[in-house]
Structure 1
Amino acid sequence: MTKKENITLQRITYLRGPNVWTYRPVLEVWLDLGELEDWPSHQLPGFNARLTAMLPALIEHHCGVGERGGFLQRLQEGTWAGHVLEHVVIELLNLAGMPTGFGQTRSTSQHGVYRMVFRARDEQVARTALAEGHALLMAAVNSESFDVAAAVERVREKIDDCYLGPSTASIVGAATDRRIPHIRLNDGNLVQIGYGSAQRRIWTAETDLTSAIAEGIAGDKDLTKTLLKACGVPVPEGEIVDSPEAAWRAAEDIGGPVVIKPTDGNHGRGVSLDLRTREEIEAAYRLAEQHGSEVLVERFIPGEEHRLLVVGGRVVAAARGESAWVIGDGRSTVVELIDSQINSDPRRGTTEDFPLNRLDITHDDVVVLELQRQGLSGHAVPAAGRKVLIQRNGNVAIDCTDQVHPEVDHIVSLAARVVGLDIAGIDVVAEDISKPLQAQGGAIVEVNAGPGLLMHLKPAEGMPRPVGRDIVNHLFADDASGRIPVVGVAGSQGTADIAQLVAWLVHLSGRHVGLACRDGLFLAGRRVGRGDCANWASGHRLLMNREVQTVVIENGAATILDDGLPYDRCHVGVVTDLGGAETLERHDIRDTEQMPRVMRTQVDTVLPEGAAVLNADDERIADMARLSDGEVLFYSLLAEDNETVAAHRAQGGRVVLLRASRVVLATGTAEVVCVDLQRRRILLAPSIVLAALAAGWALGIAPELMAAGLETFASSPTRS
């Protein structure tokens, strides 16, 4: 078979918010199949076998058939390369650890050109998966070799580089489970959970409730011990020293074995345990001073190390460490024994995805010191049967949450409160965590701000704990949604005026309102951005503002098609008209009949407790009522002759209508006159007034206030 020409990726667009395809972010790719338009899968000799050999798990893809093996059935029947690429990319993401289920491929009006989309949590990860999938597909088409494992690894590396860390992802995932929205604020793990004034911020396991003073205290181990001791919390005695000689003198004063560690270190760096001789103590001092500003000598507490996670004043998870040993065989070096007996454990790895770390003595001075105490080095060959201690209390990753004694829970929670941390990782050394500390001589040895969560999310042994959920529940009350009222106004005619009028009505109701429209960006009536701000970036900017209590955003069809909506859901979604198709040819939209699919996006995002505000004078818009998860409010200039309005009122629905010059708010058969446009000399187009008042009514603004707002709108800041 002659080699087939490469599929051309004409255009790649990251749709960040709800769009014509789905509620969630996707990568949209325009594909020109070229000559492959004439070669469906079942006509490419050997293609299906080659592809499924490369990606055996494609059998799990249901596709449109709706059952396991559905996609393979489509391959055998014959499907086009764009559809195949969709599934290849999805499978590469699955293999790389970012499960992805959604994808679609649709033809365009151009011969051989398709639009293919797939779920994309991160743009750069999605682009990498697309590039790898594209290469894999062409290799399968042309019967060329392809290293699938290397491709998956490249996607996985991009995930590690670009996506949220597992601790942050667990919190964001828990927020999503509660339908609380989130916005990533940087390329790292700083995330806003919630919108506007209802938001909270996290940075991994630190929150905007985490005190900087408390962090400073936790970073000073000697100060932390002083405060805890004053409150009756058991801590090991110790003192700060400034030389190896002083460390030895302090050890003699304390008596018995000691621990030496930096006062402001972290992750166990520079910490040496169970030191007894002067040589050990002075060597440990020199190691500790490399990892902190001061060195602390304190009494060694016998027992296992435990990490207890305190969230909002209560222990929500606990993990225990264990020592790492190797047994000599008389032939292998210590380094070789570590690799064969410890690092061979599949739970160990170099990334955060593994509950246990690989041990590398070339980068761990504490392990080197421990070996020296046993008269060994990494290149030594222990005698057969000799047991060699490699690491004391290594990775704390054995879940013991259910074993924590209530008295230990109380003491540990008290320690977090004393330091002032809302989220803390408390290190406890005890022989048995199921017994009170004082009775067994146990103690709290450290209080840590910003603790790691992975040991609780993916313990090496035991049950995973939902600590992300615990943190979200700490930040948000049970009935809190993390949302502020969001109003989206979609259409092409008068939408800027509608958005400005709605914002003015909200402002008069006493709420700090943000407005993004084609006339600019406004906060509480003050213009902070000029030019056309009816776009995704401006709307997103408002949602990030901690002062904003309500947001009003004008959305055109181009915004929905270019970026998606700037919010995940809204409280009020207004659709005014289906105009503007003539400006959307680049999106393959060529007539008004294609517009309902675009503009329905505004209605699809209405919350169950929200409302869709629809122009009932256009049957295609009125038909969108069936798509709303929330209430529907119709507005109509021709209500007296509109069967849709009559049927809606007969069911007790709400309608805003124009009778002569009076705006009437109707609920079922009950009516209230809001304002007489002629008598009040309101010069705005009636369609604008009706749409804005319907949105205001959906937000719960009183008719009297809306009437006053109409009269004063001309003097509002957005009109000046």
Structure 2
Amino acid sequence: MKKIELRIFPGRNVYIHRPAALLLLDLEELAGKESRDIPGFNRALLQLLPGLKYHGCASGGKDGFRRRLQTGTYLGHVLEHVLLELQELLGLNARYGKTRGTSQWGVYEVVFECPCVEMASMLVDVGLELIEALLAGYPYDLTGALGRLRKHLAAVDLGPSSRALWKAARKRGISVRRIGEGSLMQLGTGCFQRRIQATLTDRTSCLAADVAGDKELTKSILRAAAIPVPRGQIVYSDREAVRAWRELGCPVVIKPCDGNQGRGVSLNLNSPQEILIGFEIAARYSPRVLIEEFIPGRHFRLLVVDGQLAAAAERIPAHVVGNGYDNIGALIEQVNSDPRRGEGHEKPLTKIVVDDIVRAVLARQGYSLQSIPAAGTLVWLRDNANLSTGGTAVDVTQQVHPQVAATAIRAARLVGLDVAGVDVVTSDIGLPLEGKGAIIEVNAAPGIRMHHYPEVGVERDVASQIIDSLFPPGTPSEIPIVAVTGTNGKTTTCRLLAHVLRQCYNTVGLTSTSGIYYNDQLLVAGDTTGPWSAGVVLADPLVEVAVLELARGGLLRGGLAYDTCDVAVLTNITEDHLGQDNLDSLEDLMWVKSLVLESVKPGGYAVINADDGPSVELLAQQKSNVILFSLQADNLSVRRQLGAGGSAVLVRDGQICLAEGDRLEPLLAVDAVPVTFNGRASYNLANALAACAALWALQVEPNLIEQGLTTFLPNEEHNPGRQNLITVGKQPVLFDYAHNAASIQAVARLARSLTTGQVLGVIAAPGNRRNSIIFAAGEAAGRGFDRLFIKEDRDRRGRAPGEVAEILRQGALAVGMSPAAIQVCLEERTALWAALATAQPEDLIVVLYEDWEYTNSLLAELAQQAPHGRQAYAIAGSL
């Protein structure tokens, strides 16, 4: 078996609205071999992974997969279930899987839900390794494999604190996007977004975090504000440390001046030897070592969020309790076996690490790791109570004295932190601090595991409080998103939308087949209709509204870059792209495009073409509000929609109208919309209706919609490469991107209406389409044009030279075009020159391009040889 390709879907995708992955798998010599045909395989598999016995399957029942193994199933399907079971053993909730064949023998698509997509590649490697071992009859070390997987999961997944914040944001309906491989997250989109890394928010200033990181500086600020803090000083050598201890004249704490998470901290030291050891440990983490008086009492962490006490916990230092027969080392191993404990911050609790500090604390109590404490004896392993060093927590939020809470809030404010962990040592948190305790630290980016997962007491959802501080109730988190999909018309519809929306918003982000734009500024050139480009727009704090063109390829290869959209537009669905990406039918294309409609948020709108049969079929699946658009006022679907009190945008008596129930409001005349060429370009009229419907759904004022539609021109500034009418010399040329039968037919119809002469077509077709689709394009060209100049794209997509051109030629001949009217010029320059040389002044040349920039440059070059150069053509009636 061989892994060909692995696609990652971080969010919604055509298979499932949750993170998933798709493996393109070649079974090689195992193609066609079923599980029942492999002696001992089923038994070995179920013995190794007994959980597979309870997997459901398409055959139904809780043991559906087990029965499929017995009756026989291919190994791609087996791998799917192995991948799901491995995730179950890792504690990941993955349930969905689907395996289907492709047009290539032995090659399968294996789709599996993957909550942590960063694990997908390693999961596949382990799954293949496991199956291949069983096929060879070798024992497989599942324990070792799971160990490797767990280690990788701990390294790439979010920790408990960040995961709690993620869940809190999603509970509020706020989108979350992970940035990079750490814990930095983007909450929301565009100009409304906020960023957070663990509990460090984008409101936490670098200065405040730096102040909090300098423990002595923090103490000086608090001391100046009459807040009780321990006495102390910074030292740089062990000799200075001993001298400082003597000057303080009391037990001390030694810790790195700029440390965190309890690293290098030693408490309650009161002898020269202990001071020397404590200094040596602290100096490993910082050259600046803080020595301060030890405040006796219990350790408490008060979490302050946005000037309020969010939670409080008593922190209990790491410890074990003797049982009378195990030594302390064994007792530590038993504590660490608790499934809630993990390495670092990966789980609610942290495993206890035996180090010099643990040995020193044990020695002070008269113990070593080999000591066997009596049953019930509590043995402390550390003096500090950080969860990151193995401590536990008890919730005490309701017990905090108001004066203590007020002091903690003031301390956070003085340091400048919006989220702060204030460490208090006192004998009783229910009493004022005066003379009985002190604030020993104020921490930026405090951990919140202790509040969400206390060993004793109430779990406090402080993550939600942090999210609420960033997004107070009623505060927007998401910019408006309009997602446009379909076969033809997407780009023009998107450009129309962006043009109108620029009247309402300062910065409109647009993705399209021609690039990523912010207003009129081109950021990235090229076909940018996938999730990456959408992510670029949604991640920029400058963008106030997003218009996203979503093509088939991007939807299949990466899913959606957003969670939900405000408006989804479906222009039409035709038989383009069949034979690509395992799409074999119009129904397959409908399935892909329906993902965009399914992503509409509650209260949002789906805009659907009522004149397009496949699009109308998707109406029954739609759960959101719907606005139909149609060129025909008496369209049956529109009549039903309006009869039920719904909405539609339609054409009646030459007017574009907004209709709702029995109300009809004329918006503007069709002739007033330049891209319709006085109504001749029916497909652009449909695009304008789609844009009107989407803008209406966004509650854009009708006068702004009218103004936008009347000022959007079919030229290189507003709609480059789409119905651009220019002259080369004195010869009119119509530029367009039509590349399938439906679009070629529509452009040819427009061209015919614009001239009294002949219509000459310079055409090509993408080589990655089925022969039948290319042939149909040739038929459409043969019907629509008087003469054809057939060229080929520079990127032949795997076709032999002349192959696509011949299919187009045969298509044109099949509908009766004379062979004499067809000229094959494979090179585009030659085809353009031949058309220009052949055309009469009253003729119109239609150029269907592959690369607008390239073709445009060729025409500009050819225009230099013409007496009047290259010019834009005035659009008024016929040529």
Selected match of 1:430 from 409, 426, 430: 426
Say if 1:332 and 1:145 are closer, same or farther in 2 by CA, change over 3 A: closer
Q: Percent identity?
A: 37
Partners of 1:214 and 1:140 lie apart in 2 by: 57
Flag the 1:368–1:45 CA change in 2: closer, same or farther, 3 A.
closer
Determine which structure has more spread, i.e. the larger CA radius of gyration.
2
Give distance in 2, aligned partners of 1:206 and 1:646.
55
Deviation at 1:516, TM superposition (A): 0.7
Q: CA deviation at 1:256?
A: 2.7
Specify the code of the residue in structure 1 equivalent to 2:666. Answer: V
Residue of structure 2 in register with 1:512 after alignment: 507
Contact 2:515–2:525 at 8 Å: present in 1 too? yes
**Residue 298 of structure 2 corresponds to residue 304 of structure 1:** yes
Distance in 1 between residues matched to 2:351 and 2:254, nearest whole Å? 24
The SS at the match of 2:279 is: helix
CA distance in 2, matches of 1:78, 1:383: 58
Cα-to-partner distance string for 1:664-700 (whole Å, 9 max, x where unaligned):
1111111111111225655452112111111111111
Quote how far apart the aligned CAs of 1:353 are. 3.5
Cα separation, 1, equivalents of 2:557 and 2:100:
17
Structure 1 position 593, deviation (Å): 3.9
- In the alignment, structure 1 residue 539 sits paired with structure 2 residue 534: yes
Which deviations, in whole Å up to 9, do the C-alpha atoms of 1:287-309 show, x marking residues without a partner? Answer: 43342242333221111222232
| Cα distance in 1 between the residues matched to 2:124 and 2:435 | 58
1:445 matched to 2:440? The reply is yes
Residues 1:66 and 1:136: Cα distance change in structure 2 (over 3 Å): same
Distance 1:110 1:272, change over 3 A: closer
Q: Is 1:643 equivalent to 2:642 in the alignment?
A: no
Tell me how far 1:456 sits from its aligned partner: 3.3
Letter in 2 for 1:647: R
Residue 188 of structure 1: which of 182, 186, 205 is its match?
Answer: 182
Q: Which of 157, 160, 173 pairs up with 1:166?
A: 160
Distance 1:580 1:183, change over 3 A: farther
Within the candidate set 582, 593, 616, 1:588 is matched to 582
Deviation at 1:708, TM superposition (A): 0.8
Q: Does 1:401 align with 2:396?
A: yes
Which of the numbers 361, 382, 385 marks the counterpart of 1:391? 382
Per the alignment, residue 601 of structure 2 pairs with 607
Match of 2:664, SS?
A: strand
Aligned ranges 1:343-358 → 2 under 5 Å: 348-358=341-351
Question: Does the C-alpha gap of structure 1 residues 62 and 457 become closer, same or farther in structure 2, counting only changes over 3 Å?
Answer: farther
> Comparing 94-103 with 53-62, which one deviates more in the overlay?
53-62
Match of 2:497 in 1: 502
Instruction: Quote the residue 1:265 is aligned against.
Output: 259
Query: Structure 1 stretch 248-257 or stretch 220-229: which is displaced more?
Result: 248-257
Q: Supply the distance in 2 between the matched residues of 1:534 and 1:579 (Cα, whole angstroms).
A: 18
Gaps of 5+ in 1: 1-6
The aligned residue for residue 574 of structure 2 is 579
For normalisation by structure 2, the TM-score amounts to 0.74
In the alignment, does 2:655 pair up with 1:656? no
Which residue identity lines up with residue 190 of structure 1 in the other structure? L
Q: Please point out which of 553, 556, 559 is paired with 1:558.
A: 553
Matched, 1:697 2:696: yes
Q: 1:153: which partner in 2?
A: 147
Is 1:199 the equivalent of 2:193? yes
- Seen in structure 2, the aligned counterparts of structure 1 residues 297 and 681 have a Cα distance that, compared at 3 Å, is closer
Deviates more, 1:297-306 or 1:40-49: 40-49
Q: Which moved more, 1:364-373 or 1:407-416?
A: 364-373
Amino acid at match of 1:645: V
Secondary structure of 1:504's aligned partner: helix
Answer yes or no: is 1:671 the counterpart of 2:664: yes
1:257/1:154 CA distance change after superposition, 3 Å? closer
Instruction: State the AA in 2 paired with 1:424.
Output: A
Determine which of 170, 173, 176 is the counterpart of 1:179.
173
Asked if 1:410 corresponds to 2:401, the answer is no
| 1:68-107 mapped onto 2 (5 Å cutoff) | 68-107=62-101
TM-score by length of 1: 0.90
Q: Which has the higher contact order (CA 8 A, sep 6+)?
A: 1
Q: What CA distance in whole angstroms lies between the structure 2 residues aligned with 1:133 and 1:470?
A: 41
1:331–1:381 Cα contact (<8 Å) kept: no
Is 1:128 aligned to residue 119 of structure 2? no
Hey, what does 1:240 align to over in structure 2? 234
Return the match for 2:416 from 417, 420, 424.
420
SS in 1 for 2:174: coil
Task: Compare 195-204 and 306-315 and name the one that shifted more.
Answer: 306-315
Contact 2:266–2:384 at 8 Å: present in 1 too? no
Structure 1 CA distance for aligned equivalents of residues 201 and 82 of structure 2: 39
Q: CA deviation at 1:529?
A: 1.7
**CA deviation vs aligned residue, 1:477-496 (integer Å, no higher than 9, x gap):** 22345211111111232211
| Structure 2 residue corresponding to 1:489, chosen from 484, 498, 506 | 484
Task: Output the amino acid matched with 1:366.
Answer: I
Instruction: Give, in angstroms, the shift of residue 32 of structure 1.
Output: 4.2
Instruction: Name the CA distance, whole Å, in 1 between partners of 2:324 and 2:620.
Output: 77
- Matched residue type, 1:418: L
Q: Give the AA of the match of 1:495.
A: K
**TM-fit CA distance, 1:527:** 1.5
1:374-415: CA deviation from partner (whole Å, max 9, x where unpaired): 67777x868989986532144332222345324233322222
Contact preservation (8 Å) 1:308, 1:317 = yes
Q: Does residue 528 of the first structure (1) align with residue 523 of the second (2)?
A: yes
**Contact 1:430–1:440 (CA under 8 A) maintained in structure 2:** no
Separation in 2, partners of 1:330, 1:130? 47
CA contact (8 A) 1:305 1:320 kept: yes
Q: 1:215, CA displacement in angstroms? A: 0.6
How far apart in 1 are the matches of 2:509 and 2:149? 39
Distance in 2 separating the partners of 1:258 and 1:182: 45
5+ residue gaps in structure 2?
Answer: 678-683, 721-879
Tell me the SS of whatever aligns to 2:414.
helix
Q: Structure 1 323/152 Cα, relative in aligned 2: closer, same or farther at 3 Å?
A: closer
User: How big is the shift at 1:526?
Assistant: 1.5
State the SS of the aligned residue for 1:27: strand
Q: Tell me whether 1:367 sits opposite 2:358 in the alignment.
A: yes
Query: Which amino acid in 2 is paired with 1:410?
Result: A
Q: 1:710: which partner in 2?
A: 709
